[in-house]
Amino acid sequence: MDDEKRRQILDVAAGILESGGAQAVSTRAVAAAAGIRAASLYQLFGDMDGLLAALARHVFDRYLAEKQTLAATGDPIADLRRGWDMHVDFGLRHPAFYLLMFGPARPGRRPPAVEQAYDLLLRYVERVAAAGRLRVPATVAADLALAGGVGVTLTLIGGAAGSGTAPIADDAGLSGRMRDSLFAALLTGVPATAEPGLAPLAVALDTALAAGPPDALRPAETALLRDWLGRLAG
């Protein structure tokens, strides 16, 4: 029963967040809109920080639900591009949600939503690496893609005129330009069946070794091989 009550309260809080921004979300406003006493809110969430943390996870579930509608295709780079575009589009359609999920955190600690988004992005990037199309290690590419995607979305949200919650338009095509420039630096421009050079091949092999170390090598040998591959990947 408490789980259902929590979900209903979080739905109400999400509505307040999207219509009025984070400053409109207060224990009094949420309790009144949900038709409960403030004391009941504290019992379920502890305090305002607990409510906001639960709300961030709640709206991230909506983000994931949209992300999961993107079925994987046979082209990992096309999937990576679609993932970027969907990420930015979600932020521009739901700026208040996005700011709660990906906004500033305490130094040395990323918001949970950022960690989850990174894990999801890394799976996309590892498929690109396995195809021999990545110039840098998968974790480096994922770090750069996350920084680029979040950065451009926050820039567009912050530069939007007015304080309303209507969808934001990227009239200058900033997201696409950022995506294409970043991907040009991260991805090889040749088919995986051609001769892409040592670096992307080293990245692809390193990704495969990380996913499943071979039985034929001892752990120390695998670690040494991955070190060499890291040097070849540059």
Per-residue pLDDT of the chain (234 residues; tens, 9 = 90+): 478 888 899 999 999 998 888 888 988 999 999 999 888 888 888 888 888 888 988 898 888 888 877 777 889 999 999 999 999 999 999 999 999 888 766 666 667 778 888 998 999 999 999 998 999 999 999 999 999 999 999 999 987 654 445 568 888 889 999 999 999 999 987 444 445 567 777 877 888 888 888 888 888 888 888 888 888 876
- 22 and 108 belong to one structural domain: no
- Number of domains into which the chain is organized: 2
Beta carbons within 8 Å of 170's beta carbon, 6+ residues apart:
88, 92, 156, 176
- In a domain, residue 52? The reply is yes
- 24 and 94 belong to one structural domain: no
- 127 and 229 belong to one structural domain: yes
Rounded Cα distance between 128 and 141, Å, is: 10
Q: How far is CA 8 from CA 12, 22, 45, 167, in A?
A: 6, 18, 13, 25
- 51 and 91 belong to one structural domain: no
Report which DSSP code applies to 22: G
- 140 and 52 belong to one structural domain: no
- In a domain, residue 67? The reply is no
Per the structure, the complete domain to which residue 221 belongs is given by 73-233
pLDDT of residue 1: 46
Output the domain CATH number for residue 8.
1.10.10.60
- In a domain, residue 68? The reply is no
CA dihedral 69, 180, 60, 50 (to 10 degrees): 170
For the entire predicted model, the pTM comes to 0.74
Closest CA to 22 of 41, 49, 46: 49
At CA 177, angle to CA 188 and CA 187, rounded to 5? 10
